[in-house]
Amino acid sequence: MALLAGMQLDVFTALGNGPLTAKEAATALGVDPVKLQPLLYALVAAELLTVQDERFTNTPEADAHLVQGRPSYKAGSLREFYGDIWPALLKTAATIRSGKPQHKHDFYGMSEEDMASFFTGQHFNAVAAGERLTKVCDLSQFQHVLDVGSGSGGVAIGVARSCHDVRVTASDLARVIPVTRRFIEDAGVADRVATCVADVVASPPEVTYDAAVLRNLIQVLSIDQAKAAVRHVTESLAPSGAVMIIGSMLEDSRLSPVNLVGQNLVHLNIYDDGLVPSEGDYRSILAAASLSNIEVRRDEGMPNDNVLISARKAG
């Protein structure tokens, strides 16, 4: 909570040029120093600031990721993400009692601005996942790659930046695609990343692709919806086409990794049916689409310790 407040106030950017007292930091931020001081000490306790002679300084980690203008700045996306997700956890009991998510993310009805805010929280890691995918998979074997349920278009942007010889299309719901285009244009790759409307739960994409990437899509769907989505995506692939899923994965015991066991409480509150799938769930979903050569790849350096699961359509 101290981290979130610090990002919301932009404390770390205020300290980006060197140590400040609480009074000096408060002046830079336009707030009351008496109110700010407890937060600064809380951030010291959280190992995001240090203090010496009552002057506060960013730690190297905070300086790298939480100061605006730094190449690895993350606070903008994290601020949006944590500000949305953490309040959802407080509604868990009410969600279970009612049987309905009390902090629902409805991508069919969410406003464009709400979607842009939500996807901002996901965007940094989505781009990083696309870039990482090009390093662990040989995408040059494919002519046309589809980013399914693209959201901000992050995976498509990452692939386009790293693999210039591959055509990339970002697909999502009709209400989402205008937001996707905004991110793609802001990234300066609008000439390299196409967009298309596709609700893969309902029907296959209309164009044929050589490979499809699904990042953080399966976990927002029920198992039956996920099977329909993967089946429809597979139908749009050329013979021997590849499906690549990037996402969180529980062990079949559903007791580890521990952070994902907790993440499922978030999913209860924001999705009608979505939960973090187990390895067995993923294999069942892919097998239901008649995909073969299923390979689960851990420790590939994907953001948030996501796994990479690949499979192939029959030739």
Question: Do 297 and 186 have their domain in common?
Answer: yes
Q: Which of 52, 71, 90 is the last residue of a domain?
A: 71
Within 10 angstroms of residue 15's Cβ, the number of other Cβ atoms is 25
User: What pLDDT shows up at residue 212?
Assistant: 98
Question: Do 94 and 191 have their domain in common?
Answer: yes
Question: Do 199 and 67 have their domain in common?
Answer: no
Question: Do 36 and 95 have their domain in common?
Answer: no
Judge contact between 17 and 23, C-beta under 8 A: no
Q: Which of 48, 71, 94 is the last residue of a domain?
A: 71
Coil, strand, or helix at residue 197? Answer: strand
Question: Do 219 and 286 have their domain in common?
Answer: yes
User: What pLDDT shows up at residue 80?
Assistant: 84
The contacts found for 227-230 with CB under 8 angstroms, 24 or more apart, are 227/284, 227/285, 227/288, 227/289, 228/200, 228/201, 228/202, 229/148, 229/149, 229/200, 229/201, 230/285, 230/286, 230/288, 230/289, 230/291
Whole-model pTM?
A: 0.83
Question: Do 43 and 122 have their domain in common?
Answer: no
Residue 107 belongs to a domain with what CATH number?
Answer: 3.40.50.150
DSSP symbol at 252 = T
Half-sphere exposure of 95 (CA within 13 A, CB side): 20
User: What pLDDT shows up at residue 35?
Assistant: 98
Question: Do 228 and 121 have their domain in common?
Answer: yes
Question: Do 296 and 240 have their domain in common?
Answer: yes
Token duo for residue 30: 């336009």
Question: Do 85 and 49 have their domain in common?
Answer: no
User: What pLDDT shows up at residue 180?
Assistant: 97
Q: Is residue 76 part of a domain?
A: no
Residue 57 belongs to a domain with what CATH number?
Answer: 1.10.10.10
Task: Find the domain containing 27 and state its range.
Answer: 2-71
Residues of the chain with pLDDT under 50: none
User: What pLDDT shows up at residue 196?
Assistant: 97
Question: Do 108 and 56 have their domain in common?
Answer: no
Total domains, the chain: 2
DSSP symbol at 313 = -
Q: Which of 50, 71, 92 is the last residue of a domain?
A: 71
The amino acid sitting at 242 is: A
Token duo for residue 220: 């927002």
CA distance 174 to 195: 11
Question: Do 90 and 67 have their domain in common?
Answer: no
Question: Do 115 and 225 have their domain in common?
Answer: yes
User: What pLDDT shows up at residue 121?
Assistant: 82
